Chain A
């Protein structure tokens, strides 16, 4: 593989590393105490809006005094959870892509020193790399969709309990149509 291709893939690797670090920092910092002070204004507003996150960790008495589901606080908590899920998904995707690239680096980015591969073998490795990169994206998309669906289901069930509808509770299907 040519030096320019090597350079391109190495740059992509750096990009993934930097993106991953940025996401990790964002996730660590977004909900830390006094994090809003160090943030740009829009992100600080966002963090302030989600300041009530983490009801599960609160003392039981305090949690019991929370208003019923459907209030702004509860909805904001759910939104915060959705943000955490999305951020976690982005981190996982970056990590997976990094692993896929590392696994194929030896073959796809092989240069002069290593034993040469035939063009067919090189092509085969590169196709496998592209397939795995696509599959990683697809898997993470499905996983994110499922986790958000589960959160939606949890929110809907909590709302049902707070404001019970007449008749039996109908479970919501994961997806209504194929």
Chain B
């Protein structure tokens, strides 16, 4: 779940970040080539998988919404490291989910084995911190991110198959995808002024991904079947389990295929309500952009694009 879908390049160009994105791609290539030869093949495999760089784009947009002109080098370094850390989380997710493929390609652990994938993910974290150099503010932000992502994953797993609600979904999603985009906003604005905007954008992204999974939107990276099987609280799930019969099936350990079909149908019935809820989150994000940025246009463009992910 890390791309912009079709037309990503057009979005980058329309936001005026073609030069910055070219610089970022060059930095990624340079970084991979400079890594230890033992790790290089796995890293090349991971980093040529067609990311549309939504997180770096969020960093650039947050910067540009406060300060006009080209994005400076230390902000581009932050974008490089967010891509490294994001890919680290994908490697770990794929191992945990036992996913053989991501976006139509073999996952790192499938191609290189679990040991290599685990060791490479640790290597990526160390390399990321090294790339930040003396930027103490960015180091603090990345430390916050890694801690929050770890806590969110543990919390999400502990709370699976439980009778929770939309407010609980907001908290889990806010710590999972929300924390990633919150940190992107802070890496871009360097003041905390757009932190809340980032949190809302992440929440919107997470919710659109949940809804997109139910709609079978494979372009978002899939994962819906695993969430349903594992009883993960998605936005459609939080709405559907208000119905006692569905709640009982959702909380049942080891649901049968027939149970899962009934739950999936209930999720599908909740799509209009879920979409309306996402519209409200998008409204909140737009309002934050208008209130706290000098030029909200790049931020609003991100919101519009994200909102379309579930359409």
Contacts and interface: CB of A to CB of B under 8 A. Distances in A.
Given A118-B242, A124-B166, A178-B141, A173 B191 contact: yes
Interface residues of A, number: 18
B10 interface: no
Contacts of B141: 178
Interface in B179-201: 186, 189-193, 196
A174 B167 contact: no
Given A146-B292, A175-B192, A128 B166 contact: yes
Contacts of B165: 120, 123-124, 127
Interface in A109-135: 118, 120-121, 123-124, 127-128, 131
Contacts of A146: 193, 292
B256 interface: no
A166 B141 CA distance: 35
A143 B291 contact: yes
Nearest to A178: B137
B186 A128 contact: no
Interface of B is mostly: helix
Interface string B236-255: 00000010000000000000
Given A175-B191, A175-B192, A178-B140, A142 B167 contact: no
Most chain-B Cβ atoms within 10 A of its Cβ — which of A173, A175, A178? A178
A68 interface: no
A154 interface: no
Given A178-B140, A178-B186, A139 B291 contact: yes
Contacts, number: 43
Contacts of B163: 120
B191 A127 contact: no
Contacts of B292: 142-143, 146
Given A143-B291, A175-B192, A124 B140 contact: no
B135 to A, nearest CB: 11
B196 A142 contact: yes
Nearest to B191: A174
Interface in B115-145: 137, 140-141
Interface string B208-252: 000000000000000000000000000000000010000000000
A178 B167 contact: no
B242 A131 contact: no
A117 B208 CA distance: 28
A139 B196 contact: yes
Interface in B274-310: 288, 291-292
Interface string B47-70: 000000000000000000010000
Ordered nearest first, which 10 A-B pairs have the shortest CB separation?
A174-B191, A127-B167, A124-B165, A175-B191, A178-B137, A174-B193, A143-B291, A128-B167, A178-B140, A178-B192
27 contacts: A118-B242, A120-B163, A121-B242, A123-B165, A124-B166, A124-B167, A127-B165, A128-B166, A128-B167, A131-B167, A138-B196, A139-B196, A139-B288, A142-B292, A146-B292, A173-B191, A174-B189, A174-B191, A174-B193, A175-B192, A175-B193, A178-B137, A178-B140, A178-B141, A178-B186, A178-B190, A178-B192
Given A127-B165, A128-B167, A143-B292, 9 more contacts: A121-B242, A124-B167, A127-B167, A128-B166, A139-B196, A139-B291, A142-B193, A178-B137, A178-B141
